[in-house]
Homo-oligomer: A and B are copies of this chain.
């Protein structure tokens, strides 16, 4: 299957999932052109705000591949990944994203993707959410302990 077919698979599961109570988003992850994981948005059904299609597909792909590093995988998403999912894609090591709709189309159907992109770009002090930093609370000690820990596994 080519990129377009795989993207259409992500779109198809998103469309079909709506009637079951899922959010209107689907994602498919491939390795070597073969589907290894797919998922739809389960936020409401799973009572989990992190249960976006891409997050669930990445978690499944990691389970299948037995590694948190999906560097040789491609993700196909019915809509442009939101900042949470984009962050997850970077952490997973995935290097190619194919998508159909974008953040503005998601916004037109009531989803906050675009707003969250705008917020993330702001200085923490200027966001709508209150951000308070205590830079003298001992946070840096955690990293000093990590740096000295011989058995640490960096990622």
Give me the interface of A with B, judged by CB distance under 8 Å. 3-4, 7-8, 11, 14-15, 18-19, 21, 23-26, 43-44, 47-50, 52, 55, 58-59, 62-63, 66-70, 78-80, 82-102, 105-106, 108-110, 112, 115-117, 119-121, 124, 128-135, 137-143, 145-147, 149, 151-155
A129 near B89: Cβ-Cβ < 8 Å: yes
A109 touches B19 (CB 8 A): no
Once the chains are docked, how many angstroms separate the CA of A117 from the CA of B100?
23
Identify 11 new A-B residue pairs, CB closer than 8 A, beyond the known A21-B153, A82-B91, A99-B131: A15-B145, A19-B149, A24-B143, A78-B139, A83-B83, A94-B129, A97-B130, A100-B137, A100-B138, A101-B142, A102-B135
